[in-house]
Amino acid sequence: MKFTEEQDMLRDMVRRVADEKVRPLVAEMEETKRFPEELVEVFGDLGLLQMWVPESYGGPGGDLTSVCIAKEEIGRASLAASTLCANNSIGLILPLLHFGTEAQKQRYLTEAARGRTISAVAITEPEAGSDVSAIRTTARRDGDSYVINGQKSWITWAAQANYMLLFARTAEGRGHEGISVFLVDTKTPGLKIGRKEVKMGRHGSPTYQVFFENMRIDADCLLGEEGSGFKACMKILDLNRPSVAASSLGLAQAALDESVNYSKDRRQFGKRIADFQAIQFKLADMAMKVEAARTLLYSSTQEIDSGDTSRLTLLSSMVKCYVTDVAMDVALEAVQVHGSYGYSTEYPVERFMRDAKLNQILEGTNEIHRVIIARQLLGK
């Protein structure tokens, strides 16, 4: 793939950051499951938290391809840290750029541009996972305020975030047309952080239950029109999903690299295991999948960045589904190439396997993406 000179420089810079600042934290993140707060400053100082904030608001600018390059490079070292990289894209920047008023943009984008802001996105509820239209959290208009009541589940960064993009119901009985979206300061009284989820992987990127008990917010926290939240949600997710895939691509590349290196070191039957055709074929298959995933990802982001969004939904679902499936396949094969050592925490491939699973589930499960792709093909 051909990238611009700035994008090549970005890749080099982020690769160095991944090696020097992220990699040394990985073992501790795995053991303690601690959120690496020091990375906020590291990423913020380099513009990696606030990618996409336009220069006119004090940000570094950037486009989808650049966000994906950064997330891919951090993803080679750690999927958890890659989730923090460009964290504000979905929670703050894209919603404001597409649905915010000028006053909202001035206030929040200018703050995000300083590189110390973290945001969370609160869509999922105990009874509303894939079916976003089943959201029950309510936002009742009361004069110049909305009063929020309800519960969210699986909210990443909820306890660390300064702001939360909250999807809540402003009209009963209207399905997805009754959903609105709000930008909420997480210090608002009535917002309570619940249980921290115990997860299989992506340690270092914590996820929580969140409760809203008569949380009163100003009416100007509403983004866009009342009832436009579902459409906004779909658009923001479409624009963000390729970057989730980019994290998985980094993971897949790392799993392939580890497997190539290990197969050249490990000897059995008097030979390197790399000399067995069975292992060579695995490596060849892994490499073909990674290359195909990279090509699909960046040809799609370049099409979207060119301003042609006629295939946005289709490409976004294809990229998310295909690349995250590739990462899962490649991580599984990496464990197999490593034999028993692949099953041990001494090598990173078991972590890749656990982490790869997650991206097949979040930001729309890969089953839902296949449904979306089929609908686009069949014209439904």
Q: Catalytic residue positions?
A: 363
Q: Which stretch binds ligand FAD (CB under 6 A): 18-26, 114-122, 133-141, 309-317?
A: 114-122
Q: Which stretch binds ligand FAD (CB under 6 A): 106-114, 255-263, 316-324, 367-375?
A: 367-375
Q: Which stretch binds ligand FAD (CB under 6 A): 40-48, 116-124, 280-288, 332-340?
A: 116-124
Lookup: tokens for 260 = 């190539």
> Strand pairing partners for 180?
168
Quote the least distance from Cβ 74 to ligand FAD, whole Å. Answer: 17
Residue with smaller CB distance to ligand FAD, 161 or 274:
161
- Of the candidates 191, 97, 194, 93, the one whose C-alpha atom is nearest the C-alpha of residue 149 is 191
Is 368 among the residues that bind ligand FAD (CB under 6 A)?
yes
For ligand FAD, the binding residue among 39, 121, 210, 232 (CB under 6 A) is 121
Containing 283, the helix (H) or strand (E) segment is helix 277-305
User: Helix axis angle, 277-305 relative to 64-77, nearest 10°?
Assistant: 150
Cα separation, 266 vs 268, whole angstroms = 7
The residue sitting closest to ligand FAD, measured at its beta carbon, is 129
Quote the least distance from Cβ 205 to ligand FAD, whole Å. Answer: 8
Cα separation, 26 vs 33, whole angstroms = 10
Cα separation, 272 vs 263, whole angstroms = 7
Is 53 among the residues that bind ligand FAD (CB under 6 A)?
no
Is 129 among the residues that bind ligand FAD (CB under 6 A)?
yes
* Contact between residue 275 and residue 285 where contact means Cβ atoms under 8 Å apart: no
Cα separation, 358 vs 79, whole angstroms = 10
* Contact between residue 141 and residue 100 where contact means Cβ atoms under 8 Å apart: no
Which string of x and - marks every residue 146-185 that binds ligand FAD (by CB under 6 A)?
Answer: --------xxx-----------------------------
Lookup: tokens for 208 = 């929580």
Question: Where in 182-201 is the site for ligand FAD (CB under 6 A)?
Answer: 199
Per CB under 6 A, residues contacting ligand FAD are 120-124, 129-130, 154-156, 199, 202, 207, 358, 361-362, 365, 367-368, 371
